[in-house]
Structure 1
Amino acid sequence: MNYTRRSFVKTAGIGSAALASWPYLSANPEAPSAQVLNPYNLVPVSLIIDDSTCLVNMAYYGIPQFAEVFPDQYKQDWRKLPREIPDSFVREFGEWCIENGVKGKYSIVPYPACTGWVSRFIPGWTERELKNSLDLVRKVILPNWDIHPEMVSHTRVIDITTGQPYPYATQEYMENWEWSQKKSADELAAYQAFALKILKEAGLPCEGLTTPGGYGGQNQNNLALSTLEAVREVYGAEIPHYFRDLYTEKEKSVAPQVLHASGLDGNDPECVVSILGCTGDWFGGWDGLVPGDANKFITGDLVSGRMVEVIESGEPAIMVCHWPGIYFNGEKTGFNILKEIKKRLDQKYDNLIWMKLSEIARYWAAKELTSISTDRNSIMINAPFSTPGFTIKLNSSFRNMGIRRAGEERPLVRLKDEKSFKGGTFYSDRNGTIICFDLDKGMNEVVMN
């Protein structure tokens, strides 16, 4: 019998949670049932970095623009902040992340707080300094991080016909607030494509975007559709994704949401994935003025904290921070908190995998949209999207397993334990079998005996 969640996901709107543990139950009592697990049977972890860009400290330039609209809410003494977050810190941070395997998403705001264009020039810095900054991003950030625009300026809305900010200091013309809430999907897509094209002109790859502040919060269906349209149009990304929401409540699922799937049986399937954060910014605040606390993520005794809650639920544990708070005006408070979190996670867990948001989005799209049918000796898996480390649990034990594609069969290597899965391996005991392989787009057959 054939089992698929396509019909569910194809019609699902915002708020439909990913069905992470939904099993494919066979109607044949002699056939095994199959359940898709996390990649490599590990729990994904990641870090979302907002308000980052080249050179510009978004807090220094953003606070006075926010204060012009909300003078009673933004009273920070922004003049005491550094105007720049130096590339020496970008290098230090990026190299540490490469060495320690930390991955996630790193924003590059295209027109940061209306100071200048990252693809051309930013007044206050030389052309050479901007070029060097972009080169550094390619060298030490791209290996472990997805690049996102955080819309165009993260402050004033830009007239995309002129490239100039609208002259109105009101909520209706700030990206963080009202402008996006009643726009059509096409209008949002045009604006987001404008942002994406700046990053493309700067020579940066991109498969998704981040919303600044409340952007699209009351217009989420159109936000999802517009992300799908804009990212595919500008970059041709197969599986666009975006970050807008986070939940810190224990009872709320933070599994990625696979939305607006279509064309799954054709050559050009589509979907968009909403990535959810699971923490607040408990590193250093969006302005770099509020010291955070590693204990909110994981306590020193390794017993509790938000990351512990989410990891032990099996859902992706994705932290959220802001670049000014990681730098913390040169004190590096947020960065040091990240180092402590990483140390504690390593002490407590041996079942984590750090992933970019695009990698999580790809896996969840495959997990939610792949159809599986089982019989006694084989499993037919029809996948609209490929993904590495696709992992399935069967409720039966087997001595030998293999993958057959295009008439060619390759055996899977049997493991002695459940903690070292890689593509092309399996583990089986009296409780069942776990198989891990790189899923190809199209038909994949698992054979067993």
Structure 2
Amino acid sequence: MNITVCNPLLRTPLSLIVDDSCPVVNLTYYWIHQRHAWKARHQPNIPPERWEGNATQLKSIPPTIPADFAYEWAEWCWENGVKGKFSLIPYPAGVGRVDEGFPDFPTHEYHSWLRIYRELIWPSFDLTPEMLTHTAVVDLDTFSLTEEWEQVEWVDPPVDNRLTDYIITAMEMLDNVGIPCEGVTSPGAFGKRQEAAYAKAVLTASQHVNNNPRPFYFLWLKHDELPDVPIWYPEKEKGIAIASIVSCAGDWFGGWTGYDLGDADRFITEDLQGGRLPPILEKELPCVLVGHWPGFYFNGEKCGFDILKTVKARLDAYDPDATKTLWMKNSEIAHYYMARELTEITVMEEQHEIHLFTQFPTANFTLALDAPIRHVQVNGWDLREVHSRRDFQPDTFLIEGKQTFVAFDLEVGETRLALTE
């Protein structure tokens, strides 16, 4: 009998990554201010490049993004089943620490933001640091800002303990407000030229701060390649690994600036045929979209948010009976791909059993068996037969022609499937 590990519940993972998000302040406003001040000090005769922002736009960029908008956005995501990853920059632009407050802004706004993070965003999105400031590198001894930048000089970061300590500090600040993060987000290309060392540092930090042996990191955005979920540093016997979440679609909502309006058609066109997403979905590969928090707000006009609503409506039309796609957190995708790659599966032909052994638990683990099976038990528990993909859920099995699909939550240790043909 041949066995294949399929996508969860035979559905392609969908996920939304939200970068540059932080309590109270609008990162874009401070990022452009600080970057242009750095240019004036170090490169006074070199005009800013496009990625460094347009200072003439600052007059239209508010320094804050209100908690009321976060509430509206998070409530809509919850009601519409959108899941993914949402950054919580611990010390945004050095303006204030998430675990100490923002002294130059109303206290009630800070507390409202934290409540929304915990109660509305966290149930649907992994919360991660996007390192410490997303602007200048912090001197951990003095907690002052240096002249180096997290997404410039630290694209090629130091590979000694400084990198690990930096990530530990970011994770600890979230943990101080009761948010143990599942992974991290790279500010810009932070760590890209030392990815192996970066992945190891994130894994070490995650184990140190949160006792989490299976974190993820988001670093790569690939517009013109097929996405994957690479697994680094696996230790099968110990259940240790780290996953790289790769996005296939860039920010075509409102940009990181909040003044570069995107277009829903770049994700998926109205006829559901064009754009970046349909060919990825047709190949049943993880479909991870990226947006930036200032772009969703779009200086109060919420234009990026409107594009998100359009994209979601088109994805719903693409999958009207919810049998093709499944919205997942980044951590859920990471855990599934770890289990997919690192679970040992043994077919016991004479006993009509399949034995699985893993240290990598995951929900909705789905197998395809190349035979029609009349009865399936998982660890002595009878699975229910269903007759359509719409009804295919955990603890069920589905026969299609000469194949049988089986779905269940995979737990640590041994799992036994007993089959009756």
What range is the shorter-chain TM-score in? over 0.9
Q: CA deviation at 1:375?
A: 2.8
Distance 1:151 1:208 in 2: 11
2:133 pairs with 1:158: no
Q: Deviations over 1:318-348 (max 9, x none)?
A: 1001000000001111100000011011111
Distance 1:99 1:322 in 2: 20
2:166 pairs with 1:191: yes
**Which residue number in structure 1 is paired with residue 43 of structure 2?**
none
What does residue range 305-320 of structure 1 map to in structure 2 within 5 Å? 305-320=275-290
Identity %: 37
**Is the CA contact 2:253–2:304 (under 8 Å) kept in the aligned structure 1?**
yes
2:241 pairs with 1:271: yes
Distance 1:446 1:304 in 2: 41
Distance 1:76 1:312 in 2: 42
Q: CA deviation at 1:95?
A: 0.5
1:363 to 336, 345, 349: 336
**Is the CA contact 2:18–2:293 (under 8 Å) kept in the aligned structure 1?**
yes
**Which residue number in structure 2 is paired with residue 140 of structure 1?**
120
**Which residue number in structure 1 is paired with residue 292 of structure 2?**
322
Give the letter for the 1:381 counterpart: L
**Which residue number in structure 2 is paired with residue 53 of structure 1?**
22
SS of 2:204's equivalent in the other structure is: helix
What does residue range 62-141 of structure 1 map to in structure 2 within 5 Å? 62-70=31-39, 71-73=47-49, 74-77=53-56, 78-141=58-121
Q: CA deviation at 1:185?
A: 5.2
SS of 1:419's equivalent in the other structure is: helix
Give the letter for the 1:230 counterpart: A
Q: Which stretch of structure 1 is more off in the superposition, 122-131 or 58-67? A: 122-131
Give the letter for the 2:327 counterpart: W
Q: CA deviation at 1:163?
A: 1.2
Distance 1:254 1:186 in 2: 31
Give the letter for the 2:66 counterpart: P
**Is the CA contact 1:180–1:188 (under 8 Å) kept in the aligned structure 2?**
no
SS of 2:314's equivalent in the other structure is: helix
Give the letter for the 2:315 counterpart: L
Distance 1:398 1:214 in 2: 49
How many matched pairs?
404
Q: CA deviation at 1:180?
A: 4.9
Distance 2:265 2:109 in 1: 38
Distance 2:7 2:371 in 1: 19
Q: Deviations over 1:196-236 (max 9, x none)?
A: 11111122231100000121111110111011011111111
**Is the CA contact 1:185–1:225 (under 8 Å) kept in the aligned structure 2?**
no
Q: CA deviation at 1:246?
A: 1.0
**Which residue number in structure 2 is paired with residue 149 of structure 1?**
129
**Which residue number in structure 1 is paired with residue 181 of structure 2?**
206
**Is the CA contact 2:66–2:109 (under 8 Å) kept in the aligned structure 1?**
no
Distance 1:143 1:429 in 2: 34
2:360 pairs with 1:385: yes
Distance 2:271 2:25 in 1: 38
Q: CA deviation at 1:80?
A: 2.4
**Is the CA contact 1:82–1:329 (under 8 Å) kept in the aligned structure 2?**
yes
Distance 2:334 2:391 in 1: 23
2:301 pairs with 1:331: yes
**Which residue number in structure 2 is paired with residue 179 of structure 1?**
154
Q: CA deviation at 1:162?
A: 1.6
**Is the CA contact 1:185–1:226 (under 8 Å) kept in the aligned structure 2?**
no
Distance 1:347 1:80 in 2: 36
Q: Deviations over 1:36-57 (max 9, x none)?
A: 0011111110100000000110
**Is the CA contact 2:216–2:331 (under 8 Å) kept in the aligned structure 1?**
yes
Q: CA deviation at 1:182?
A: 4.3
**Which residue number in structure 1 is paired with residue 42 of structure 2?**
none
Structure 1 unaligned segments of length 5 or more: list them. Answer: 1-31
SS of 2:277's equivalent in the other structure is: helix
Give the letter for the 1:41 counterpart: L
RMSD of the alignment, in Å? 1.3
Distance 1:146 1:135 in 2: 15
Q: CA deviation at 1:429?
A: 3.7
Q: CA deviation at 1:161?
A: 1.4
Q: CA deviation at 1:420?
A: 2.1
**Which residue number in structure 2 is paired with residue 24 of structure 1?**
none
Structure 2 unaligned segments of length 5 or more: list them. Answer: 40-46
Give the letter for the 1:51 counterpart: D
**Is the CA contact 1:185–1:223 (under 8 Å) kept in the aligned structure 2?**
no
1:289 to 239, 255, 259: 259
2:300 pairs with 1:344: no
Distance 2:372 2:114 in 1: 52
What does residue range 406-417 of structure 1 map to in structure 2 within 5 Å? 409-417=380-388
Give the structure-1-normalised TM-score: 0.88
Give the letter for the 1:448 counterpart: L
Distance 1:220 1:365 in 2: 19
Give the letter for the 1:257 counterpart: P
2:416 pairs with 1:448: no
Q: CA deviation at 1:66?
A: 1.7
Distance 1:429 1:39 in 2: 17
Q: CA deviation at 1:309?
A: 1.4
What does residue range 17-36 of structure 1 map to in structure 2 within 5 Å? 32-36=1-5
Give the letter for the 2:383 counterpart: L
2:408 pairs with 1:437: yes
Distance 1:243 1:435 in 2: 31
Distance 1:143 1:227 in 2: 23
Distance 1:76 1:296 in 2: 27
SS of 1:176's equivalent in the other structure is: coil
2:366 pairs with 1:396: no
Distance 2:80 2:27 in 1: 27
